[in-house]
């Protein structure tokens, strides 16, 4: 069993599948996330692939504060993912609610709805910071599961 776990972990580390969910963001973090896939940053060289379904994803990458309307859907998506699963909060809004913290439509950061494994601050989080964060998360998979929340450097 330990061997299987090691293989699965290795596969997960080598090629994590990501699901991106925008829970009410202004799009800045989302476009920086997409930018990290494009040639200059090329996060795909880490084997990362963006998939469309929660059931295929290892990592849920969330941007934006949690708005009332998206909260339920966010929780449902999280529940549909198979264990072990990790959540990355990209951007200051996802970390804490950001500038929208006191707005009536907003509850707070992603962790007001689901547990978060990694916080990447920034407004928006730059592709450099996103890659740094993802690499930190992947390296921590080598050591143990579950992952303790780590914070990426704002670059």
Partner 1 sequence: MSNEDNIKQQLIEKFSALSDKIIVKRARRIFAEVSLADFPQVFDFAIKKLNFSILTAITGLDEGTVFGVIYHLSTENGIMLNLHTTTPRDNPLINTVTNYFPAADAYERELVDLLGIPVEGLPQGNRYPLPDSWPANQYPLRKDWKGQMPVNKEESK
Partner 2 sequence: MSNYDFIVPIGPQHPALKEPETFLLMMSGEKIKGMNVRLGYNHRGIEKACEGQTYIQDLYLIERVCGICSHSHASCFAQAVEEIAGLELPKRALYIRTLIGELERIHSHLLWLGVAGHEIGFDTLLMYTWRDREIVMDILALLTGNRVNYSINTIGGVRRDITTEQIPQILKAIDTLEERTKYYAKVATEDTTITARLSGIGLLSHDNVLKLGVVGPTARASGVKRDVRKDDPYAAYGEIDFNVITDDHCDVYGRTLVRVGELMESYKIIRQVLAKLPEGPITVKAPRKIPVGQAVSRYEAPRGEDLHYVKSNGTDKPDRVKVRAPTLANVQAVAEMLKDRYLADMPIVVAAIDPCFSCTDRMTSISTADKDDKTFMSWPKLRTYSIEWYSRQGVDFSDLNKKFKAPGI
Binding site residues, partner 2, CB under 8 A: 19-32, 34-35, 38-40, 50-53, 64-65, 67, 69-70, 73, 77, 98-100, 102-106, 123-124, 126
Q: Which residues bind partner 1 (CB under 8 A)?
A: 66, 68-69, 71, 75, 102-108, 112-114
From the list partner 2, partner 1, none, partner contacted by residue 8 (C-beta under 5 to 8 A by kind): none
Please identify, using beta-carbon distances, which residue of 70 and 140 lies nearer to partner 2.
70
Q: Does residue 59 contact residue 125 with C-beta atoms inside 8 Å?
A: no
From the list partner 2, partner 1, none, partner contacted by residue 71 (C-beta under 5 to 8 A by kind): partner 1
Please identify, using beta-carbon distances, which residue of 26 and 113 lies nearer to partner 2.
26
Least distance (Å) between residue 55 CB and partner 2: 11
The SS3 call for residue 22 is strand
Please identify, using beta-carbon distances, which residue of 86 and 100 lies nearer to partner 1.
100
From the list partner 2, partner 1, none, partner contacted by residue 35 (C-beta under 5 to 8 A by kind): partner 2
Q: Cα(86)–Cα(58) distance, rounded to whole angstroms?
A: 6
Strands (E), 1-155: 17-22, 49-50, 59-63, 66-67, 86-90, 106-108, 118-120, 150-151
Least distance (Å) between residue 78 CB and partner 1: 10
Q: Give CA torsion, residues 119, 155, 30, 69, to 10 deg.
A: 30
C-alpha angle 73/49/154, rounded to 5°? Answer: 80
């Amino acid at each position: 069993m330990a061997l299987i776990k090691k293989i699965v972990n290795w596969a997960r580390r080598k090629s994590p599948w990501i699901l991106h969910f925008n829970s009410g963001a202004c799009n800045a973090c989302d476009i920086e996330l997409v930018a990290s896939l494009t040639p200059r940053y090329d996060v795909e060289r880490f084997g990362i692939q963006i998939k469309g379904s929660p059931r295929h994803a290892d990592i849920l990458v969330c941007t934006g504060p949690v708005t009332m309307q998206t909260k339920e859907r966010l929780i449902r998506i999280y529940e549909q993912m198979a264990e072990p699963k990790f959540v990355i909060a990209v951007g200051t809004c996802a970390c804490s609610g950001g500038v929208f913290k006191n707005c009536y439509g907003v509850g707070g950061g992603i962790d007001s709805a689901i547990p978060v494994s990694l916080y990447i601050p920034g407004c928006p989080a730059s592709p450099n910071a996103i890659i740094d964060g993802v690499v930190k998360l992947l390296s921590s998979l080598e050591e143990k599961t579950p992952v303790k929340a780590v914070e990426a450097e704002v670059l």
